[in-house]
Every structure is written in structure tokens, then in C-alpha cells.
A and B are shown apart, each in its own frame.
Chain A
Amino acid sequence: MADTITVNGTAHPVPDDPRVSLLDFLRQHIGLTGTKKGCDHGQCGACTVIVNGIRINSCLTLAAMHDGDSVTTIEGLGTPDEPSALQRAFLEHDGFQCGYCTPGQICSATAMLEELAANWPSDASESLEESIAISGEEIRERMSGNLCRCGAYANIVAAIEEVAAGGRS
């Protein structure tokens, strides 16, 4: 059986050209353009997707390395008819302007909240041992790999804080 990558529940054959990044595979090969290319060098976070539950920069990995992996993109988190809690919170808090970094911010935040729930410490954490309290500073630290040039950070943090507190469910 050919190597496959499962994206949002659908299996796709791994591309022949080994140079194809996971990002270009998503955008160019299977038409999922919700994942954005901002820098192609892992510097901006616009291409963030969730692979086997972990957020990664899809520009920094080759599609050929993901045989058998399960990838969730922004299209897999929610749709215009059924947006996720974070997608709704970003809309209400105006957590974006141009919208280009937004899918990456939302994918990143989705996985980041799981990391918080699993008690993974960050540079902003008071302790490496005890359970981590969700705070603005924790969220800012953990989201710092996702750039927003429009400067919507304050609104993005407000949206994530609301969902972290159980809102927009």
C-alpha cells in the first residue's frame, strides 16, 4: 500500500517529490489553503498545524516524513457553519485583522491549551513541578511563535483566555 498522510480524517498519498514541505503539500497538492505560508522558515507560525496532537510549523517538515501521520488543519477544527469555540472567540474579540496569521494562531492556540492542560511548563511558569495556572503571561509566552503584524495580540490573548476559562463552548 502506498504511503499516506491523513489530513482532517481523509487519507492522501505522500507526494513523489521528496522536496515538498508538509505546508506546500497541504496548500498546493490537496488544496487546503487555510494553512498559510508567511516565511517558509519556521519564523512566523502562520503555517502551524497539529500533527498527531502536537502543533508544528508545517514549513519546517517534509511531507515525505509524515507517512501514517494524522494532520489537523484549520479546516479540520471548524467550518463557517460549525466554527470551533476558539474560532468563535477570535471573531467576537477581533483577534485578527488581515486574517493571514489567523489559522496558524488558532491551530497553535488549540494545541497550546492541551499543553497547558497536560501541565507542560513554559518560561512563564512559576514552577516546573506544580500545576500551572492559566494566565495572560503563560498564553503570551506559549503563543510567541505566532507573529501577527497587524498587532492583534491583545485581542488574541483575550479570545484564548475566554476559551481557556470555558467560554464559547
Chain B
Amino acid sequence: MTVHFKQDEPDNSNRLDGMKQGVLGEPLPRIEGLAKVTGTAPYAAEYPIENCAEGVLVTSTITRGKVTSIDRRSVLSMPGVIAVVDDEKMCTRAAQGTANEAPTQGPKQVCYWGQPIALVVAETFEQARDAAKHLKVEYREEDGAPLDPNAVEPEGQEDETVHQGDLAHAMAEAAHNVDVTYTTKGHASAAMEPHAAIAQWDGDKLTVHASLQMLNYNITELAEALDMEEENIRLVSRFVGGGFGSKLGISEEVVAAALAAKQIGRPVRVVQSRQQVFQTVMRRSETTQRLRLAADSDGKLTGFGHEALVSNLPGESFAEPVLQSSHFLYGGENRELMLKVARIHRMTAGSVRAPGEAVGMPTLEGAMDVLAEKVGIDPVELRLRNIPEQDPEEDLPFSSHKLADCLKQGAEAFGWDNGPRKPRRRREGEWWIGTGMASAARVHNIAEAKARVTLKADGTALVETDMTDIGTGTYTILAQIAGEMLGLDPKQVLVELGDTRHPRGPGSGGSWGAASIGSAVYVACKVIREELAKKVGISEEVLELSEGKTATGESLTDLLEGNDLAREGHYEPGDIEDDYTASGFGAFFAEVRVNHYTGETRVDRMLGAFGFGRVLNAKTARSQCIGGITWSIGVALTEALEFDPRDGHLVNCDLAEYHVPVHRDVPDIEAVLVEERDGAASPIQAKGIGELGMCGGAAAIANAIYNACGARLYDYPMTPDRVLAAMPD
């Protein structure tokens, strides 16, 4: 039985606070954690499937043109080689997040360097890899593919454009103004588990073990790519070794494995190499951003301008949504916001953790630091003065707003010195030392979700959904929500995820997972409580459940009388999505050292304070926060995709040349979880936290670099060469 709840109004009842089990929000260790630390959790490529052949993708060595011939004979005589697959249904790009349709197909048509064009299948991985290297491919290349985002006429994005008042006039009249242009380099998700799939057919039924974030969309994408019915497909992703946006849509190896397995009549495994993951899946677009801030003598904004140029391949709908939080974070009645996309032939641009704010916030918050200096007030105070009463562009209230609390609590916890700020005030040997801060903001997303909860006759519970846990803590928080509602120790709650045989959730992405699927579990549990209350003869509102018993001592097993009680919860966000502007907010504080002679920056300590609705598990929520802050360090200092200007290929396509933060780059990080209940965000009053921790943090580091050594930089990442070039004598 399915219970549908469409939320048109905020739910400020905070029912979960009145439950008696007392486990929600507690810092419980992950329930799947023991499997992960002992190496017994199976990831996509690790299922022992009998008679499984191995496939290796072959990728294009031209930028644009046609594959004119593939010489199968060049490899079919090699030991162990079974087949060369170049089916027209093969995908040449990964699907964008929530695309819900097949990505671009047809491997004969090449659109970027490194695009998959064929799959070689052999008995062993070593044989397939060798043969893939020897496959002879001929092309007809089309010269002149545009590769430089600054050298083409970009397309405007009307949805993102705002003209309000007269910004030019406001800038001219302002007591203080800032007009600066920033650049950010492209980023890679670089999830530790490479994209992988094992496909096996049983007649016309297909099962694929894959590493995917959003099975509910992925099954549709795969069905369309293969021209088959969804009912005949089962996707399984119980453990996902990180996603960060790169596994939102189905990627090339999933479709290739399915086609190859069909062709040879055996299961086929395809694991992308690290280099292929870098070059064929998704990049975050580089950006060029102009920020204009006009302020009165008190630092109150009268004008706000943010224009951004991003890039993508022709035909891709995704445009890095750089301005997403700029629309509502600060006031200023005169506003100009504009997003443009340059069509170029680099690999696909798509979602990488916190698309938009990950690069939009570090530039905005850098510009705010410049403004604070001009106005001559503390940067924390500048933010506090510019928090708008309501959405400055749309006539909408905020659902809840914790920026001021985060700024104040964060400053206190960090020990922020709000005295006069001048660069170059502290030096120890070769090192300049300074501090910086920035605001955090990330829009709240939520989506339709379904989950089945079964209260078993033996007094345990089962939660089933196709929702994924990509390291975010889904397994654990769903056990906590169900445990809290049904009066059970979470150890008594079995959670089964990542299988399309279960009711469908929205998947993991856009930080929407916990609030969406958590609400579906809440809806199911609420109805089960109503059934139990009926049996007791009281109303659900006063039913108290803890440790498997009611307040009057009746056990769940007695009430169930030997029967399971199963309900499917179906949560759907209704008018709440349109009636409010909803966002997570926060504040970052950093202390850095900058070497006077080498320009090297070391982050000595960092703190973030975040308000993201109800905390479902203080341990996993904190881990999401410190993980985001760790990414902020990468954005600020090291991460940059470099493309060859001649053919557009991604040059630094591995973990030696693309520099994600390592242990020694990351200091002790503190996270302050600011309590919040946001009833317009979800019926469990929760928002997302997976991305907020990296939405602005890089600016806290950039601003600290300026405070330390006086080098004001406008280009991320702030590598030693750039810092040195900007360092005053």
C-alpha cells in the first residue's frame, strides 16, 4: 500500500523532536561501516560473475570528425580477444544529471578528443587492454573545431539573466564600488572508484552492476540507449566509491558493457581507466566572472552585478550555474546577472560537486573582501549588514535563514579578530601568516521519492529504496529516521539500497538525497504508526514508541500478532518549492601561511559553521562538512584542468598531475553544526549538506592569503607562481 504526501505547506510540527527513541541526530557510526573498513563491501566491478569477459574502451585521437574504418582483424587474432564492439547505440558522452534520456550515441561521429569509439572484449583484462592499444582506427578529421572559450561568440542563458534597476548608475553613485574579473579553472570529480559496469543478460532481461548515483534516472537513460523496456532492466549500485556528480547519469561503459554482453552472449565487465574517467566523463567548466558591487558609506549594497562565461560541447544543455546563490545571497536593488556559454570541443562539461556555487561563491566572496577593505569594516560585519529580508529578485520569503547565526557562531568558535585588518602584520621566518573568511550558500533542492518500510512481525524493520549511498551516510540516516519513528534501535533496522527492484528515490545529487528519501521513509513510518495507534486504541499523535514498546508496555511484536506491516511512502514536494527561497547557509574561517620566497600557501586551520536544517546524524553530517572544506582547499590552491590548445584534449588526466588535496595539505578542520528546523524545506525539516561545505570556502583561503602577504589574486587556483607574481615587494 502506497501513501502519497504532497507538501504544499511548511511542516513546522517538528514531529521527530517529539519521538521517544532518541536516536535521530545522534553521531552513530555508519551501519555499513564495518563492511567498508574490512574490505567486504562489494563495489560495482567486484561481483563474482561466472564466465565474465573483460572489455576495454578505445577512445578517439582526433578532436572532431568521423571514424572511417576500424580494422577488427588487427586485433581479433590476438590471444584471448573475443570481439570488437562499435555498435551505433554506444554512448559517446555520459548523461547529464537527471537527464532521464539516453546521452549522445553513435561512436562513428567524433566530437572531442578522447571520446569512446569502440570496445575490445577479451578473456582477460590484460588481453583486452593490449588489444585495445593495437586496434587500428582511421578517421576523417574536420579541422577548425573551436577550442578556446574566449574565442567564440557565446550563447546567452535567458533563464539566468536578471536586469533590475540601473547597476551602472548605482556603481557611479556609490560611496564604494568594486569591479573585478576572476577566472577559475576546470575541475574533475576524481571519485576514487573508477566508473565500472558488469552487464549480464538472461534472455531479454538485463542486469547491470554499475557505479551510479541516480538509478531512477539511469534506468530510463539505459533503456532508451538500448531501445528496450525499463521493466527488463535491473540496475544495482549498493556501494558507490564516490560520485561527486560524475556518476549522476549513465556513463559510456554501462551501455558498452550491455551491448557487448548481448553480442557475445556472455557477461562483460568494463572498468574505465583513470585516464578515461578524466577524459570521457565530466569536467567542471572553467569560468570567467565579472563581479560588480556598489555600496553606500556603511557598506550596504545598492548594486550587485555577476556575469559569467562558461563552456560546453555543442548540444549539451548543462551550463555551470555559477550565479545560483548570487541571485539571493545579498541585497542591492540594482542588479545585473548574466550567464553565457561558449560552445567548444573539449570533453563534456557537467556536474562536479556543488555545480555553480563551487566556483561562483569563491569569486563573489573574494570581491566582498575587497569591498570590506574599501569600506573599512570587518568582513564579517559587511556580510551581516547585507543579509536581505527576503529574496532580492523575487517577491519570496526565505524558508529559514541561518547566515547571521553561522557568521557569529563561526567567528566565535574560530576566535576571529574583528579589529582593524591590514595585510602583512604577522611573519614567522619565511612565512607570512593571516586569516580570512567567507560566507557559504547552496540552494536547497528536493525531489519526489519513494521508499518501502516494513515493520516485521519479529519487531525489526526493513527499509527498501533504490536510493544510493555514495559515502553520504544514507544507510545510517534512514535507519535512524525509521528507528526514531518506530521506536527501534537502528541496529534493528535493515536498510537495502541501490537496486531498481525497490521503490524509486531521486538518487544522490544536488544535496537532495537525505531530505527527499528521508521524507519518504518518514511518510511511510507515519502511516505505520497510525496503524499501530489504531491497534492500541489511541491517536497517532500521542503514540509513544521506544525500544520496541509503547509507553504502556505493549511490545511491537504483540501488536503485530505475527504479521508484517508494510507501507510505501511517496513524498512529493508541492507548492513549498515555489513559495519560498530555500538554501543552506554557512561561514568559513581560515588561517594560512604564505611563503615569502616561494609563494607556497599552507592552510594551518579551517573552520566552517553551517545551517542546513535538521542534523540527521551529527557524525556523518560533520564528515560531509569537513569533506566539503577539504575540496575548498583544492579549489583555492591546487585543482586545475589543463587543456591542450591544439586539440582540446585534457592533458593532466590522472591523479599525479591533477592535484587533489592529500593528507599533508589538510589540517585539523572544525565544523560547527548550527541547529535549524526548516519546515518549508521538507517534512523532516532537513536540507542538504553534501555540497555546502565547498561553496565559498576557497575565498576564505584567498582572503587569508591577501591578509597574510598582501597578494590579492583574482585567479583560482592560487598556485605558488601566481601568488609570487602578485606578492608586493
B residues 424-476 near A (Cβ < 8 Å) are 470-473
Contact partner of A94 (CB less than 8 A), chosen from B29, B34, B130, B470, is B29
Interface locus among B362-370, B515-523, B653-661: B653-661
Interface locus among A34-42, A113-121, A126-134: A34-42
Tell me what chain B mostly uses at the interface: helix, strand, loop, or mixed.
Answer: loop
Residues of A within 8 A of B43 (CB): 33, 36, 100
Known: A33-B42, A36-B241. A101 touches B669 (CB 8 A): no
Give the distance in Å from the alpha carbon of A88 to the alpha carbon of B38 in the complex: 10
Residues of A within 8 A of B243 (CB): 98
Question: B126–A20 contact, CB under 8 A?
Answer: yes
Known: A98-B470, A146-B663, A150-B242. A91 touches B192 (CB 8 A): no
Residues of A within 8 A of B542 (CB): none
Question: A43–B629 contact, CB under 8 A?
Answer: no
Tell me what chain A mostly uses at the interface: helix, strand, loop, or mixed.
Answer: loop
Give the distance in Å from the alpha carbon of A140 to the alpha carbon of B668 in the complex: 11
Give the distance in Å from the alpha carbon of A162 to the alpha carbon of B193 in the complex: 28
Residues of A within 8 A of B42 (CB): 33
Contact partner of B37 (CB less than 8 A), chosen from A39, A73, A91, is A91
B77 at the interface (CB under 8 A from A): no
Question: A94–B30 contact, CB under 8 A?
Answer: yes
Contact partner of A98 (CB less than 8 A), chosen from B45, B240, B629, is B240
A66-87 interface code vs B (CB 8 A; 1 in, 0 out): 0000000111001110010001
- Kindly name the residue among A37, A41, A155 whose own CB sees the greatest number of chain B CB atoms within 10 A: A37
Known: A43-B656, A154-B668. A91 touches B29 (CB 8 A): yes
Known: A43-B655, A149-B242, A151-B627. A140 touches B664 (CB 8 A): yes
A-B contact pairs, 12 of them (CB 8 A): A34-B38, A36-B193, A44-B655, A80-B40, A83-B37, A96-B33, A98-B242, A98-B471, A100-B191, A141-B663, A141-B664, A152-B623
Residues of B within 8 A of A141 (CB): 663-664
Question: A102–B37 contact, CB under 8 A?
Answer: yes
Which residue of chain A has its CB nearest to the CB of B656? A43
Question: B192–A98 contact, CB under 8 A?
Answer: yes
Residues of A within 8 A of B304 (CB): none
Which residue of chain A has its CB nearest to the CB of B628? A151
Question: A43–B654 contact, CB under 8 A?
Answer: yes
Question: B193–A153 contact, CB under 8 A?
Answer: no
Known: A141-B664, A147-B192, A149-B190. A40 touches B273 (CB 8 A): yes
- Kindly name the residue among B40, B43, B663 whose own CB sees the greatest number of chain A CB atoms within 10 A: B663
B619 at the interface (CB under 8 A from A): yes
B124 at the interface (CB under 8 A from A): yes
Question: A31–B669 contact, CB under 8 A?
Answer: no
Known: A79-B38, A150-B627, A151-B626. A144 touches B126 (CB 8 A): no
Question: B274–A147 contact, CB under 8 A?
Answer: no
Which residue of chain B has its CB nearest to the CB of A32? B39
Question: A101–B38 contact, CB under 8 A?
Answer: no
Question: B37–A97 contact, CB under 8 A?
Answer: no
- Whole-angstrom distance from the CB of B549 to the nearest CB of chain A? 29
Give the distance in Å from the alpha carbon of A98 to the alpha carbon of B273 in the complex: 19
Question: A153–B663 contact, CB under 8 A?
Answer: yes
Contact partner of B663 (CB less than 8 A), chosen from A44, A98, A157, is A157
Question: B37–A147 contact, CB under 8 A?
Answer: no
The contact size tier of chain A is: 35 or more
Which residue of chain A has its CB nearest to the CB of B43? A100
Question: A144–B471 contact, CB under 8 A?
Answer: no
Question: B241–A98 contact, CB under 8 A?
Answer: yes
- Whole-angstrom distance from the CB of A86 to the nearest CB of chain B? 8
B182 at the interface (CB under 8 A from A): no
Question: A151–B631 contact, CB under 8 A?
Answer: yes
- Whole-angstrom distance from the CB of B468 to the nearest CB of chain A? 10
B592-634 interface code vs A (CB 8 A; 1 in, 0 out): 0000000000000000000000000001101110111111000
Question: B192–A149 contact, CB under 8 A?
Answer: yes
Question: A41–B654 contact, CB under 8 A?
Answer: yes
B666 at the interface (CB under 8 A from A): yes
Contact partner of B660 (CB less than 8 A), chosen from A124, A140, A147, A154, is A147
A44-80 interface code vs B (CB 8 A; 1 in, 0 out): 1010000000000000000000000000011100111
Question: A155–B193 contact, CB under 8 A?
Answer: no
Question: B37–A90 contact, CB under 8 A?
Answer: yes
Question: B666–A151 contact, CB under 8 A?
Answer: yes
Contact partner of A155 (CB less than 8 A), chosen from B45, B46, B240, B623, is B623
Give the distance in Å from the alpha carbon of A102 to the alpha carbon of B48 in the complex: 21
A156 at the interface (CB under 8 A from B): yes
Question: A94–B38 contact, CB under 8 A?
Answer: no
B398 at the interface (CB under 8 A from A): no
Given A41-B656, A144-B662, A150-B471, 8 more pairs with CB closer than 8 A: A36-B192, A39-B194, A39-B655, A80-B34, A88-B37, A96-B33, A99-B241, A141-B663
Question: A44–B192 contact, CB under 8 A?
Answer: yes
B36 at the interface (CB under 8 A from A): yes
Residues of B within 8 A of A78 (CB): 37-38
Which residue of chain B has its CB nearest to the CB of A79? B38
Question: B35–A80 contact, CB under 8 A?
Answer: yes
Residues of A within 8 A of B36 (CB): 96, 99, 102
Give the distance in Å from the alpha carbon of A142 to the alpha carbon of B660 in the complex: 17
Which residue of chain A has its CB nearest to the CB of B629? A151
Residues of A within 8 A of B41 (CB): 99
- Whole-angstrom distance from the CB of A130 to the nearest CB of chain B? 21
A14 at the interface (CB under 8 A from B): no
B174-212 interface code vs A (CB 8 A; 1 in, 0 out): 000000000000000111111000000000000000000
Known: A40-B273, A154-B669. A99 touches B471 (CB 8 A): yes
- Whole-angstrom distance from the CB of B217 to the nearest CB of chain A? 20
Question: B242–A83 contact, CB under 8 A?
Answer: no
Known: A37-B194, A147-B660, A150-B627. A28 touches B125 (CB 8 A): yes
Give the distance in Å from the alpha carbon of A62 to the alpha carbon of B123 in the complex: 19
B residues 1-49 near A (Cβ < 8 Å) are 29-30, 32-43, 45-46, 48
- Whole-angstrom distance from the CB of B329 to the nearest CB of chain A? 24
Residues of A within 8 A of B271 (CB): 37
Question: B273–A106 contact, CB under 8 A?
Answer: no
Residues of B within 8 A of A38 (CB): 192-194, 274, 655
Residues of A within 8 A of B193 (CB): 36, 38, 98, 100
Residues of A within 8 A of B414 (CB): none
Known: A34-B40, A106-B37. A149 touches B663 (CB 8 A): no
Give the distance in Å from the alpha carbon of A58 to the alpha carbon of B289 in the complex: 44
- Whole-angstrom distance from the CB of B628 to the nearest CB of chain A? 7
Contact partner of A156 (CB less than 8 A), chosen from B33, B48, B663, is B663
- Whole-angstrom distance from the CB of A61 to the nearest CB of chain B? 15
B244 at the interface (CB under 8 A from A): yes
B239 at the interface (CB under 8 A from A): yes
A12 at the interface (CB under 8 A from B): no
A111 at the interface (CB under 8 A from B): no
Question: A87–B656 contact, CB under 8 A?
Answer: no
Give the distance in Å from the alpha carbon of A82 to the alpha carbon of B356 in the complex: 45
Residues of B within 8 A of A34 (CB): 38-40
Which residue of chain A has its CB nearest to the CB of B127? A17
Known: A33-B42, A40-B274. A97 touches B472 (CB 8 A): yes
Give the distance in Å from the alpha carbon of A106 to the alpha carbon of B48 in the complex: 24
Question: A147–B662 contact, CB under 8 A?
Answer: yes
B residues 495-549 near A (Cβ < 8 Å) are none
B residues 294-341 near A (Cβ < 8 Å) are none
